[in-house]
């Protein structure tokens, strides 16, 4: 890997590092581990989709499917880990907020028992605004894909 391809590969990151990078907690934490992180470039994370997820109680009884909006949220959380780690913000309390979601496509249903592979890369990175492209993969096939923009911000004042 050349110097301009990123500052280096890291990973895997355990749940402790994920929790340090993200403010999300159960039941809305949708990243279980990070398999690979290339600073300033990309991340591959995993969401183990189990029947124990709260949303399966109502979406849909008898045919449980992970809501598409939560698949996009899982991609965004993976992007949040990428941004926080790349910008050296872990433990700073900074938050990563959605600004826009573009071109989202849902191609395959995500069901209990799946391992959802979250692949996200930077499209554009500035100090406070980042654009990402993401794919949620099931067994090597695209389940969900989109581009989205997020803003790095201070947490609300208490």
Active site members: 59
**Distance of alpha carbon 82 from alpha carbon 34, whole angstroms:** 10
Of 99, 100, 74, which Cα lies nearest the Cα of 22? 74
Residues 125, 127, 130, 136, CA torsion sign? positive
Largest CA distance in the chain: 51
């Amino acid at each position: 890997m050349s110097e301009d391809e990123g500052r280096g590969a890291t990973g895997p990151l355990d749940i402790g590092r994920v929790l340090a990078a993200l403010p999300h907690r159960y039941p809305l934490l949708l990243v279980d581990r990070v398999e690979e992180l290339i600073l300033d470039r990309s991340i591959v994370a995993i969401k183990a989709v189990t029947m124990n997820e709260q949303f399966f109680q109502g979406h849909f009884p008898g045919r449980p499917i992970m809501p598409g909006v939560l698949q996009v949220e899982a991609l965004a959380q993976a992007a949040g880990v990428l941004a926080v780690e790349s910008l050296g913000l872990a433990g700073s309390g900074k938050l990563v907020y959605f600004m826009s979601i573009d071109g989202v496509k849902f191609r395959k249903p995500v069901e209990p028992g799946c391992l959802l592979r979250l692949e996200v890369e930077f499209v554009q990175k500035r100090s406070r605004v980042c654009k990402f492209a993401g794919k949620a993969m099931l067994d090597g096939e695209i389940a969900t894909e989109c581009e989205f923009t997020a803003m790095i911000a201070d947490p609300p004042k208490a």
